[in-house]
Amino acid sequence: MNDASRASIEKLNLGRLPSVPQVLLRLIEACHQVDVSFDDLAEIIQQDVGLTAKITAVGNSPAYAQWNESKDFNRLLVVLGLDNIKTIAINAAVHQFFSRFDVKTGSSLGSIWYKSLWCAHAAKSLAILTSYEFPDEAYLAGLLHKLGQLVFLNNQPEAYSELLLKEHSDLILTELEKELFGVAYHEVSALMVQEWDIESFLSDALLYQNEPAERLLEAPRLVRLTNFAHKLSDPSIDIETLYAEADLLFGLTPSVVETLRKDIAQQVQKAADGLGIRIDKGESGKVDVQVETESARLELAKRVREFALLGGVNLEPGSEANLQEFLQSVLAELNILFEMDRSILFLVDAENKHLNGVAARSVNNSRIAEFKIPIAAGRSLVAQAILDATVQGPVKPLDSNPASLLDQQLARTLDRESILCIPLIAGANRIGVIVVGLREANPENLQQMMEFLPLFAATAAQSLHASRAIDQNTEEKLENARQWHRREARSIIHEINNPLGIINNYLHVLSAKFKDDASIADHLKIIKEEIQRVGDIALRMHDISDPHHIASFSVDINEVISDLTEIFQASYFKTHNVVEHVELDRKLPAVVVSRASLKQVITNLVKNAVEAMPDGGDLWIQTRDHINIGGREFVELSIADNGPGIPPETMGKLFNPLESTKGSSHSGLGLTIVKNLIDELKGSISCRGRSGGGTEFLIHLPRRLGDE
């Protein structure tokens, strides 16, 4: 790709790619189903070029960077999570509704969708047929091969629709694209994927999709697969040429090619039927697919209202423990839904006399704190919005020289010529006003946004009112909510860790059984890593201090140890060549302690001991009753091993958070968590080296009997 092509691409708007409305409707509906699976979501998303591109780009951003590790699209969705997928879907739906598309552009979008899906299924079928190890990657390449056409359609809907509807061959089409945009669609597709910086020949596959087969004989298989799949999906290509290239690239016979075409056509037709998209084929073989229908647009508008502004906005009462984070979420959703990236949120004070700046997006918070706006008629658009309970603007304060200097200051603070004042009213309660700085907007788009803004504002106001409970006890209520959430979170965390540990143990057993099957072993490894990550996240929350969260009951410590060692026997001990020695004081009484916390302590210490003996060894678990320390009675739990022991330089800071010596997969917080749990149980833990080598942890718990 030359410099001129790159310069032309830089002039294009590469964001906000259009999506097929019917796919968006299915995705939004699926995201709001309680039992939706990531497999279901993947099946829907991978029927749309724009959505798939967005998901892949986000999934490979520095925050996630997943495609380089796994070519499994479902894994991307799991890592992103349902909330992020829902946000992307709603964002795309709002953009699609506000787009300039009509029947003509809808037909062009349908054409791109049909050919992209055809090529995707062709590429995957070819990948399976030719034993390419990453069929999902091949599918992705096929689906994205016309990504640049979506960019062109988004930038110049009318002009580019004229080109597409004339059914030019790809050779002629690319020349016409260069005349119109200075670059061809395949070059745009390749550069966009290249920007994702993924370890794949995906960008090359898109760039060389129109090359003759003779030039690709030494090319990587993904490049060859995409090239031929693209040609297989092009009805204008000469059939004899297609047969010749199939034989040259893959040694496929004409009968195999025809079988492929028949199977792929059925798959695409099935996808269209599932989405309610009609595919019309004329006598000349021309395919017409109309996706921008009036019914689809009306349904999309309905869903945008119901889901994007009511079910999709994350403004549930009490969902934010911190008021500032809660307010920021309102402004963030405003930006997601309406591309209003600069805004200030004002709240009415307790006396209902002033509006105070409390939160902002893309504006320094120290500046907005200076605003204290009187709620008085004729003083400013901000005050007028709350008084009239109607959206004020958009206006250009700097041009119209209004009476209010304040409106001019707000425009300057937001660094925008136009401002819009959106009142937040909940019933008879004045909550506040959001002032937005606007770019120059298409009048039609602005009119459509104005239809939805009052609904968004009402939803946000009601949620703010319920969560903030604006009265003299606001801070007290927020603190009470924080404490309640903290207690609930800690209780849930304790319950999470135990089943995760058990699942993890059984994964060890499965890994041993299927160690010779690389495919299954890799999948089990991924599951284990994700479970471990969930456990680590939960465990890191244990530093929240609240002594009241522990649910204490009479617990038989010996019984807990017996249950756990049975699990460890089938996983840690056998798989790591560890011999356990369990010596329990049978007279040990049941004591008042948190069973969940005790199980977590034992699990962590046993796991540490096993990991300290990579070549196997012995592990001792012992209990003793009537241990007198300082005149008080305790029960004792001892866990010891004959591993290499703990270095002296580490012993002194053993229970402090530190960099783990076990590798990057360990947080170094295990013993810190154990110490915190023991402290909460009013016990003590100590560590010492064994005379015969190894390490021993001694835990002493108060001898509090359940009937005392």
**pLDDT tens digit string along 371-404?**
889 999 888 999 999 999 999 988 888 776 665 8
> What contacts 497, CB < 8 A, 6 or more positions away?
535, 538, 539, 596, 600, 603
Between residues 193 and 10, the one the model is more confident about: 193
Confidence of residue 546 (pLDDT cuts 50, 70, 90): very low
According to the per-residue pLDDT averaged within each range, which of 57-61, 183-187, 272-276 is highest?
183-187
Q: Determine the pLDDT at residue 23.
A: 87
Between residues 221 and 527, the one the model is more confident about: 221
Between residues 632 and 290, the one the model is more confident about: 632
> Per the structure block, which two tokens stand in for 357?
């700046």
Between 3.10.180.10, 3.40.605.10, 3.40.50.620, 3.30.450.40, what CATH number should domain 314-472 receive? 3.30.450.40
Place of tokens 């080109």: 163
> What contacts 377, CB < 8 A, 6 or more positions away?
383, 384, 387
- DSSP state letter for 586: T
Between 3.30.565.10, 3.30.70.20, 3.90.950.10, 3.40.50.720, what CATH number should domain 544-702 receive? 3.30.565.10
Res 17 pLDDT > 60: yes
Res 311 pLDDT > 70: no
pLDDT tens by residue, 156-203: 888 888 888 887 778 888 899 888 888 899 998 888 888 877 778 889
Backbone angles phi, psi at 581, to 5 degrees: -130, 105
Each residue of 288-322: b (16+ CB within 10 Å) or e? ebbbbbeebbebbbebbeebbbeebbbbeebebbe
CA gap 387, 400 in Å, rounded: 22
- DSSP state letter for 573: I
Query: Which three-class secondary structure state does DSSP give residue 698?
Result: strand
Q: Pairing between strand 553-555 and 591-593?
A: antiparallel
Q: Determine the pLDDT at residue 387.
A: 93
Mean pLDDT within 556-568: 85
Query: Which three-class secondary structure state does DSSP give residue 629?
Result: strand
Ramachandran area for residue 626 (φ above 0: left; ψ -120 to 50: alpha; else beta)? left
Query: Which helix (H) or strand (E) element contains residue 559?
Result: helix 557-568
CA gap 518, 300 in Å, rounded: 45
Between 1.10.3210.10, 3.10.290.20, 1.10.3110.10, 3.20.20.150, what CATH number should domain 3-289 receive? 1.10.3210.10
* Cross-sheet strand order for the sheet of 632-641: 578-583, 617-629, 632-641, 695-702, 684-689
Q: Determine the pLDDT at residue 150.
A: 87
CA distances from 693 to 355, 621, 647 (A): 70, 16, 12
CA gap 398, 418 in Å, rounded: 8
Res 471 pLDDT > 60: no
Q: Determine the pLDDT at residue 627.
A: 92
CB distance 188 to 12 below 8 Å: yes
Res 636 pLDDT > 90: yes
Q: Determine the pLDDT at residue 310.
A: 44
pLDDT tens by residue, 115-140: 999 999 999 998 888 888 888 889 98
Q: Determine the pLDDT at residue 49.
A: 86
> Per the structure block, which two tokens stand in for 506?
């059984």
Per residue, the 3-state secondary structure of 96-115, as one string, reads HHHCCCCHHHHHHHHHHHHH
Closest CA to 565 of 588, 552, 587, 583: 583
According to the per-residue pLDDT averaged within each range, which of 43-57, 414-428, 588-602 is highest?
414-428
For the chain, what are the domain ranges? Answer: 3-289, 314-472, 544-702
Backbone angles phi, psi at 605, to 5 degrees: -70, -40
Q: Specify which residues 433 forms β-bridges with.
A: 346, 423
pLDDT tens by residue, 399-425: 766 658 889 999 999 988 889 999 999
Percentage above 70 pLDDT, the chain: 76
> What contacts 362, CB < 8 A, 6 or more positions away?
341, 342, 343, 414
CB distance 356 to 327 below 8 Å: no
According to the per-residue pLDDT averaged within each range, which of 171-175, 412-416, 635-639, 646-650 is highest?
635-639
Q: Determine the pLDDT at residue 444.
A: 59
